[in-house]
Chain A
């Protein structure tokens, strides 16, 4: 036990002396949390829209005004003699609404009118949202003009749960928080481990009386402390800046966090032991910590949309389970009944990485 603690103290001392590494450990996760959480979002608003009014009647102007007053769009002017598609190719607008001739006339007669909507679909997600917004606004126009009373019998009352303001940072910031925790403690652990291999100081460890388990646990403990500092800083930001709060029973979250810190640091130690070259170790951890967690964990894009051939990989991506736990703790509050499985999986993956790291250590020791 004493040896484990002194090993941990030695690693922490080394870390504190390296300014760049310390900044990487504590500052960068916070910067990323701020930046990415505010910047990453798919829910577009205030999109440029062109309305081409071929009718120019009071009804068509009223129709255009409904779009002008919405927060989803801002109407940009476009000369009526130019082709409306040009507004899209010139990147001036995301959509064009074309109001046909006789719009007002037909409406007054009681005939139904079709309005043409052209959408720039280069970004398919935004295109879908544009279509949804335009339909909603058109429906509002119909309701105001009293036409809908004829047509709607069944209304839809949509209730949005857990995040009624549809505030994107509330969804993404827990994910970014997880990405930071997945990457930087692991990176530093891998660097420290690879450094010992590169500078051959590992040989001194072999000849000392410390056992492989004690050595590994000491290293892991040191970087778990780093992860804990990051965790506290990150959680403070989430709770204060992004207005999240703990929902429901926090015990699965706490247990999951401790296990997750162990899991990521063990992963880093394993990589560092396996690749005794600092530059290569950085790349390996960046691939595991960043790319896998960013892509395959449902951070921005839902896991269900990943093609089946690739989706199974996400089952062993540790970050995926922790994202579920953090989102549950901060948004949904499902507690143990919902979260026992992710917590268990993190424990299993952590144990796996630890065993792998230990085996690599032993093999190296035999070779040395």
Chain B
């Protein structure tokens, strides 16, 4: 035990003297959380809408203004021909266009059903999906306003007349309640996801550099000549890193609370325990990488191969449900995925261990496997 304590003191002293390392654990994570939280926003709003109004009547103008009055669209200009509108969309001056037909007001007064055409630049699939929902919703509520004013279709369409009796059937509407994040703050999703990525990536990077350093300087042999066992050496190396990274995790939670007002509805103890497991897995990954590389520079280059898949296939920045179905099961092999679920559920939903135990168990499993793998690799390398 005293050997272990002595080794740990050595590691702590080394870290204390390394100011750059301490800084690298404070500044980049804070910056990343802030940058990601503020900059990664997928909200669709203020789409520039080009208008072709062939009707040029008060009715048509009112219809167009119901669209532009919403937060989702803003008026991007009036056009007279479809070709001009098309050119403007293709040049990126407009995101959407609406074409109101010539007979708009006349048909409205007669009660003849009619269509307006809405053009959306669908290059960005997400924007198009959400904008389509918005536009259809606005037109639907416009219809309801018309119905409220007593303007209803008089000519029944064939399909409608066939099934239903001439009286009227009730219409089903939906009332939506957004739970856990009623303001639909996108940053909450992003920062809680980034949290896990930070733990794993920083853990692995830090561990890799710490392990490689000893080898680069050739001091591993000196350590081996001491009576300490390899397990002692590895534990003494891991423990201080773990403490440092836990401090970083606390800092990250502080940043999330302070700058983004992320709620804490569940148990912080569960979150801290999972963060600890996540950090240990990260350290495990870093140690394994370090045993395969010869220099700090090589370890960093190898990290380029490991980090992007780990962070992308985690559902931390983009939803897993949006990935192709063959790829989705693979994400369960990623500790960041499990941690992300735990972090979001404890912070925002207030769920406890009774529903999160599978994810927690998975984290325990990853930690055990990765840490024992790293000890085995380390020992083998020394042997």
Residues of A within 8 A of B (CB): 20-21, 24, 28, 31-32, 35-36, 38-47, 63, 85, 88-91, 94, 97, 106-129, 131-136, 138-139, 141-143, 145-164, 166-168, 170-171, 191, 278-279, 282-283, 286, 291, 295-296, 300-302, 304-307, 310, 324, 327-328, 331-334, 337-338
Contacts and interface: CB of A to CB of B under 8 A. Distances in A.
B330 to A, nearest CB: 9
Contacts of B140: 135, 139, 152
27 contacts: A36-B312, A46-B325, A47-B321, A88-B349, A89-B349, A91-B351, A91-B355, A114-B175, A115-B172, A121-B182, A125-B42, A125-B186, A127-B178, A132-B137, A142-B171, A147-B170, A147-B171, A149-B153, A152-B143, A154-B108, A154-B113, A159-B118, A162-B121, A170-B125, A291-B32, A332-B92, A332-B123
Interface of B: 32, 35-36, 38-46, 63, 89-92, 108, 111, 113-130, 132-137, 139-140, 142-144, 146-147, 151-153, 156-157, 159-164, 167-182, 184-186, 188-189, 192, 296-298, 300-302, 304-305, 308-309, 312-313, 317-319, 321-325, 327, 341, 344-345, 348-351, 355
Contacts of A117: 174-177
Contacts of A111: 170
Contacts of A286: 304
A41 to B, nearest CB: 4
Given A39-B313, A327-B123, A124 B113 contact: no
B110 to A, nearest CB: 10
A133 to B, nearest CB: 8
A294 B155 CA distance: 53
A334 B90 contact: yes
A121 B341 contact: no
A163 B123 contact: yes
A132 B130 contact: yes
B179 A120 contact: yes
Tell me whether chain A's interface is mostly helix, strand or loop, or mixed. Answer: helix
A193 B55 CA distance: 65
Task: List 9 tightest A-B contacts by C-beta distance, closest first.
Answer: A132-B133, A149-B160, A146-B164, A160-B122, A305-B41, A124-B184, A121-B178, A42-B126, A121-B181
Given A113-B170, A149-B161, 19 more contacts: A42-B319, A44-B321, A115-B174, A115-B175, A123-B189, A124-B184, A135-B137, A138-B174, A145-B169, A146-B161, A148-B160, A150-B171, A152-B113, A154-B108, A154-B114, A156-B115, A156-B136, A163-B128, A301-B40
A252 to B, nearest CB: 12
A43 B129 contact: yes
A46 B108 contact: no
Contacts of A163: 122-123, 125, 128
A324 B355 CA distance: 45
Given A112-B173, A338-B91, A38 B168 contact: no
A253 B65 CA distance: 38
Nearest to A338: B91
A119 B181 CA distance: 10
A171 B132 CA distance: 17
B327 A38 contact: yes
A307 B161 CA distance: 51
B125 to A, nearest CB: 4
Contact of B304 (A24, A106, A161): A24
Contacts of A142: 171-172
A38 B228 CA distance: 48
A296 B41 CA distance: 11
A153 B349 contact: no
Contacts of B309: 35
